[in-house]
């Protein structure tokens, strides 16, 4: 039996402009110090730039990018007989989406070439084409999981 009671799952409401839970999750991840309007503004500018660059629906491209980044497994450290091993664990779809959004934002923060909206735009477009830093991160995790699958 666990020591702590299970937490209630927080239900995220739809984004008021785009009617998308995924956009709302991205806004919540972008938000710093409770400034949700600023996070919305950044995301709206990013979606406008995506539409200008690709001449396609930005919501569709964003959803495609997230689905390309979502990992199938997560690496957890396990201690077995005094040694620490990286054990792959399968993810739920919600956990995979939250990890994908976090990786997308982290990859944009590591670059320092242009404004954040420009970096986010380029990363989303690259991820929808199965390129970019977030896709490389997912591939690294999958490679580590593949090499450690024999330890289970």
Reported as a single tens digit per residue, the pLDDT across 52-84 is 999 999 999 999 999 999 999 999 988 888 888
pLDDT of residue 148: 80
pLDDT digits (tens, 9 = 90+) for 24-61: 999 999 999 999 999 999 999 999 999 999 999 999 99
Where do the domains of the chain lie, and which CATH numbers do they carry? 21-151 (1.10.455.10)
SS3 labels along 8-68 = CCCCCCCCCCCCCHHHHHHHHHHCCCCCHHHHHHHHHHHHHHHHHHHCCCHHHHHHHHHHH
pLDDT of residue 20: 92
Size of the chain in residues? 152
pLDDT of residue 151: 58
């Amino acid at each position: 039996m666990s020591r702590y009671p299970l937490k209630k799952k927080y239900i995220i409401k739809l984004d008021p402009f785009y009617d998308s839970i995924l956009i709302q999750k991205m806004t919540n991840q972008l938000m710093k110090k409770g400034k949700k309007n600023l996070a919305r503004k950044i995301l709206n500018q990013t979606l406008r730039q995506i539409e200008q660059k690709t001449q396609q629906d930005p919501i569709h491209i964003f959803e495609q990018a997230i689905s390309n980044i979502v990992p199938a497994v997560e690496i957890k450290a396990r201690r077995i007989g005094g040694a620490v091993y990286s054990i792959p664990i399968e993810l739920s779809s919600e956990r995979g989406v939250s990890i994908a959004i976090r990786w997308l934002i982290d990859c944009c923060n590591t670059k320092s070439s242009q404004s954040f909206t420009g970096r986010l735009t380029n990363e989303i477009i690259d991820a929808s084409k199965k390129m970019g830093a977030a896709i490389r991160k997912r591939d690294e995790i999958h490679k580590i999981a593949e090499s450690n699958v024999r330890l289970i």
